[in-house]
Amino acid sequence: MENLIFSLNATLPIFFTMLLGSFFKKIKLMDDAFVNKMNKFVFQAALPMLLFEDLATVDFFEVWDFKFVSFCFLATLISILAITAFSFLIKERAVQGEFVQASYRSSAAILGIAFIQNIYGNAGMAPLMIVATVPLYNVMAVIVLSVLKPQRERMNPALVKKTLKGIVTNPIILGILAGMLWSVLKLPMPAILQKTVKNVAVLATPLGLMAMGASFEIKQAVGRMKWAAAGTFIKLVLLAAVFLPVAVRLGFHGEKLVAILVMLGSATTVSCFIMAKNMGHEGTLTSSTVMLTTLFSAFTLTGWLWLLKTLGLI
């Protein structure tokens, strides 16, 4: 019972904060324009500030772990390749690219960091996990959505170049790199600066979760239900079931194992839908998978966390 309470304490506040966002939109306290602005603020300011704060205030050479970063990168790459191979079983080729992206691309930044913060009080190993996975998520998304288009055509070099530029200028990546540089150079963090950074950083999790909840439209989840359900199972259950035992066998535990769980088993990020639509895909399968994974991740993450806690791994 103690382990179950520990797990629920980590996951339910996240789910309820998302529900608050949905409720605030229902009572017209938020509208679409406000939610879009809030998402933009979290992505471009609050979240990069949070990641910067977590890295800038620690000794980088103590927290850097090449083995951990390599595992996160390789597990993500293998997952993408395996899901792509499986996607050729889909007879309706028009949704193949959407299925692949929605089945592997985690919401590691918003939901993931919120999850880790609830357990440890800080972002833990999430910044290193993001360094290993987010650039790969974006590069592979461009390749997958270009090659597996409804109307198949050769990949557009201009689009690839634009996306790679977007990765380099990604505020989350920039926040992590700035934090790393600050830590490596051992620059001082005066109390005034630290408190100012913290005041912005603490907004990332609650605002991001409420914005995600306000964006939730459950009626969209009925479209493409068969493959959306398959993508949800892969995203929340299968990847974690395959790679968590490998991670344990390699000696990962505690904060590292929780970060790996987030990477493998958190909900599909909402940016999948935006990217799919902008690259010529219908978007219905993607939005359905985002909705289903967001809804059910509250239960699956609780289950995974309970299992890891019961086994004494975290």
Q: Which residue has the higher pLDDT, 312 or 221?
A: 312
Lowest mean pLDDT, pick from 33-37, 62-66, 120-124, 244-248: 120-124
CB 22, CB 213: distance < 8 Å: yes
Condensed to tens digits (0 to 9), the pLDDT of residues 116-125 reads: 777 776 666 6
Q: Please, what are the domains in the chain? A: 2-309 (1.20.1530.20)
Condensed to tens digits (0 to 9), the pLDDT of residues 11-25 reads: 678 778 878 888 999
| Cα–Cα dist 124/129, whole Å | 10
**Residue 261 reports pLDDT greater than 60:** yes
Record the pTM.
Answer: 0.74
| Cα–Cα dist 25/36, whole Å | 12
| Cα–Cα dist 72/128, whole Å | 9
Output the CA–CA distances (angstroms, integers) from residue 17 to 82, 123, 199, 281, in the order listed: 34, 18, 19, 31
Amino acid 231: pLDDT: 93
